[in-house]
Chains A and B, each alone.
Chain A
């Protein structure tokens, strides 16, 4: 993967695409193989290790894995990178409010207040909180998006869709699993097709956009 590139993973349920994402993020342990960052091999024992190297993960199960529903919007936004709002041993609460406030307006997150519980927001706004959680630090290098548009209404889908393209334009490498092949084709620069844990086809940049039928053929 290169900076600014969106790589889409296609495959049926159980083809191993979710596992690949979770392994890169350190949430599952691989049985073999290696993960290279800037051609150096890395080994993540937990997501905390991956986060430290600038990798972010937007999980498919937004309400359980993406946000802590019973924490405030503000607390969710800074959870992944609390060091950004730390001064000495203590949290700098004023800076936390300023920083989260600015991201709320940048991503147009609709929330009654910074202290509203994240679980009370609409799905689209929750998803924006999860995205912003990774943007709040210095540039993340890699974002792994597992079904980022799942369960969103049409308007929210369009907005998150635009945000993902913007992220890539800003130089973030994006690894994507989408709900439909159409979404995947529309967003990705490169598409890797997986079947039974192996990559069976690759549609790269420069090629004409692949037909869904062609991708499907490699999936099953």
Chain B
């Protein structure tokens, strides 16, 4: 007989899922105490606007990290996309955007295919990809390409919806869609199974190769969307537009409590992690910490936040 006893597992899970939110709240309030104007609606919208490209890039990272891999190329693909957008928007308009998003998706899928077919670790494939795509972007355009004609195709992202930046609403919407997909589709279940036990998943008939290529394709698409957000923000394409966002986006995934070894965590956690990272970056300046100490504070907070937010109930070992 299936015995039904009260399980306390949910309590630990609940604690683990609430932790990133609690860390975020503590940080926002902490900065607010030192500088009350930080809590004003205006400065919160500045924060949202600031966080949206990192949000999209961190979402790109999350699916691959959930598989137990990493995508070092996401920022390079985003930068590459800004160049392509700057070149194609004036002549092709909305079709230019569609073409660029398709290219970014194909780039991601191709990296996933190489990872699966040639059995090269995702770290190495995407490290090579990072060099390749930023190299191609740089060879197409040595410097910033301004976007004037066709800007409207991406410019809507810089607008406001009831005072909230559209780019942030867009990012949260995408995060919600991905969160739903991870929780409610066979694909999401497969991603978790591969992250937690790839051998058992493979031997259970999970189409591991297809799922991995799919996850990398999604990562590519999201990197393309990051490029779109950056073009909207800067009115231009630049071969290194997103390169400073790579490490913050990976940090955001970790701070949200997604295990870098895969299987544990998800898109909702990443969204919170992005806000933590953004508050941290903005907050250090607002609180008035000497800029020289900024990297030190940044590092300390990231490690402490990960220690607090990680859901370890499902992890046998921490690598």
Chain A residues in contact with chain B, CB under 8 A? 25, 27, 46-48, 50-52, 57, 59, 64-71, 75, 79-83, 86, 89-91, 93, 101, 104-105, 108-113, 115-117, 119, 133
In the complex formed, the residue of B with least CB distance to A119 is B316
Residues in B whose Cβ lies below 8 Å from that of A75: 189, 192-193
**In the docked arrangement, what's the CA distance between A112 and B9, Å?**
10
CB distance from A76 to the nearest CB of B (A): 8
Is B119 at the interface (CB under 8 A from chain A)? no
Contact of B184 among A59, A90, A108, A113 (CB under 8 A): A90
Residues of A contacting B1 in the complex (Cβ-Cβ under 8 angstroms): 105, 108
The count of residues in chain B whose C-beta lies closer than 8 Å to any C-beta of chain A is 33
Instruction: Report whether A104 and B2 are in contact in the complex, using a CB–CB cutoff of 8 Å.
Output: yes
Whether B263 contacts A70 by the Cβ 8 Å rule is: yes
By Cβ-Cβ distance, the 3 closest A-B pairs, closest first, are: A51-B205, A68-B197, A70-B314
Chain A's nearest CB lies how many Å from the CB of B209?
A: 7
In B197-235, which residues have CB < 8 Å from any A CB? 197, 199-209
Q: Name A56's closest neighbour in chain B (CB-CB).
A: B205
Contacts of A57 in B (CB 8 A): 203
Shortest distance between the CB of A175 and any CB in chain B (Å): 15
Q: Are B189 and A64 in contact (CB under 8 A)?
A: no
Residues of A within 8 A of B201 (CB): 68, 79
- CB contacts under 8 Å to A, within B1-16, are 1-5, 7, 9-10
Q: Are A117 and B314 in contact (CB-based, < 8 A)?
A: yes
For window 168-208 of B, CB contacts with A under 8 Å fall at: 184-186, 189-190, 192-193, 196-197, 199-208
Q: What residue in chain B is nearest A108 (Cβ atoms)?
A: B1
Given contacts A70-B196, A70-B263, 11 further A-B pairs with CB under 8 A are A46-B208, A59-B203, A68-B201, A75-B192, A75-B193, A79-B206, A86-B186, A93-B184, A111-B2, A112-B5, A117-B9
Query: In this complex, what residue of A is CB-closest to B187?
Result: A89
